[in-house]
Each structure stands twice: as C-alpha cells, then as structure tokens.
C-alpha cells in the first residue's frame, strides 16, 4: 500500500523549532511568575458618625450677695460738767507738838529679828556645815576600816560609788539614812550600815545655833 503523505506535511524537520518555542514560553512564564507582585488585601470600613443628642447641661449662675458693712460705731462725746466751786476747805490745821528745842529724841532702835530657828526645819546649806570629828581624812579612814566588801559584789565584780543621804541632828546624831543612788550586790546595805555606825558629828550652825542639816556622802567600793 502506498503512502499518500506529502513531504510538506512531515513535521519531523520542524521538531527543533517547536522545542525552542516551548523553551522560550516556559522561560517567559518563569520570569513572569518571579516578577509578579501580590498585595495584602485590606478591608476598609466606613465609620458612621452619630450625632450626640445628649442635652447640654446648663449651669445656673449663682449670685453672691455681699453683706453690707456694719455701720460705724457712734462717736463718743465727752461731756464736761462744770461744777460750782463753792466747797469750803478748812486750811487751818492744828499741830500739837509738845517738843521744843531742848527736847531730846531717843535714837531709833530697829526691832530685833527672831533668831530662833525651828528644830523641825532641815537645812541643806548653812553658815557652818556639819563635819566629821577629825575632818575628811578621819572620815575616809573610818569608812575604809569599817566597810566589809559584800561577797556577792566580789563574785559579780560590782564596784562603784553608793551615794548616801542622812541628817545631822543638832546634837550630832546621824538620822534618816537613805540611799540616793546605789550599785547593788549588797553594797547599798553595807554603806547604810557603816553610816549608821558613825560617831556623832560636829553639828551645823545657822546664826550661831545648832540646826538640822541634810548631808550627802559618797561611799566608794573598789576591788583590788
């Protein structure tokens, strides 16, 4: 059987051309896809403006009433009353004096003050303060000889000064002994005991008379 296909209808010779055209189209499609730009989709909503129909508040205007100033005080008028000077004054003064040029006048003697001092009053400062017989040296020697250091104070290491207050009576006796400031450990009681055992003092004097005098005495406790 003979073939009726004409040589012009043979596409084998054009195969290379069609292949090149396909490559060109494929390359063009790739370039287009790379250069294609996409944008985000944005949605816009229209804002509807609503009218505010709220009635406007009207602030009332207040009127401040100012009080009128008080009336000025009434003027004081000084009234001068004229009195008739018809009062009689007796200018005749009678001075009865029995003294004459030869009369001697006694010298004025001021009244003497009462120099007595009540014994119940306790003085703090007097003209002559009370003192221990023999002076302060004898007092320190007496305290050092008669004071016994308490055992509790020795064990606890307590030392310092105990301030004692007492009253020196007019006869020199020691009375009303009390602790003003102590250190504890039995030292306060020992200081009171020694002060009470002291002999009579030389009493203090005010206006030449022995009086009661308050006296403060520090008693020192020292560990050796």
User: What is the number of residues in the chain?
Assistant: 224
Class of domain 122-221: alpha beta
**pLDDT for 73:** 78
H-type helices in the chain, by residue range? 15-35, 136-146, 151-156, 187-196
**pLDDT for 97:** 44
**pLDDT for 3:** 59
**pLDDT for 96:** 44
Q: How far apart are the C-alpha atoms of 167 and 175, rounded to whole Å?
A: 5
Q: How far apart are the C-alpha atoms of 103 and 169, rounded to whole Å?
A: 53
Q: How far apart are the C-alpha atoms of 154 and 185, rounded to whole Å?
A: 8
**pLDDT for 43:** 63
Q: How far apart are the C-alpha atoms of 25 and 32, rounded to whole Å?
A: 10
Q: Encode 165-217 in three state secondary structure.
A: EEEECCCCCEEEEEEEECCCCCHHHHHHHHHHCCCCCECEEECCEEEEEEEEE
Residue (of 180, 179, 205) closest to 190 by Cα position:
179
**pLDDT for 222:** 86
pTM of the full structure: 0.47
**pLDDT for 31:** 86
pLDDT 10s per residue in the chain (224 long)?
555 666 666 667 777 888 888 888 888 888 888 887 766 666 655 555 555 566 666 556 555 566 778 888 777 665 555 555 555 545 554 444 444 555 554 554 554 544 444 456 889 999 999 999 999 899 999 998 999 999 998 888 998 999 999 999 999 999 999 999 999 999 999 999 999 999 999 999 998 899 999 999 999 898 87
**pLDDT for 16:** 80
Tokens of 205: 């004097």
CB-CB contact of 194 with 102 (8 Å): no
């Amino acid at each position: 059987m003979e073939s009726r296909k004409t040589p012009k209808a043979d596409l084998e010779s054009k195969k290379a051309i069609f292949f090149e055209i396909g490559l060109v189209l494929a390359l063009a499609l790739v370039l287009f896809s790379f250069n294609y730009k996409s944008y985000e989709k944005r949605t816009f909503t229209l804002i509807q403006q609503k009218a505010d129909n709220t009635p406007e508040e009207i602030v009332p205007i207040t009127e401040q009433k100012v009080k009128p100033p008080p009336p000025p005080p009434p003027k004081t008028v000084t009234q001068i009353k004229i009195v008739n000077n018809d009062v009689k004054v007796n200018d005749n003064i009678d001075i009865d004096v029995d003294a004459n040029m030869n009369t001697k006048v006694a010298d004025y003697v001021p009244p003497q003050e009462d120099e007595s001092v009540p014994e119940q009053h306790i003085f703090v400062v007097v003209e002559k303060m009370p003192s221990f017989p023999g002076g302060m040296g004898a007092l320190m020697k007496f305290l050092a000889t008669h004071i016994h250091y308490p055992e509790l104070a020795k064990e606890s290491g307590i030392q310092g000064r105990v301030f004692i207050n007492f009253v020196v009576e007019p006869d020199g006796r020691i009375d009303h002994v009390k602790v003003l400031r102590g250190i504890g450990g039995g030292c306060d009681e020992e200081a009171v005991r020694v002060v009470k055992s002291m002999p009579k003092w030389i009493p203090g004097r005010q206006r030449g008379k022995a009086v009661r005098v308050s006296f403060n005495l520090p008693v020192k406790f020292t560990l050796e």
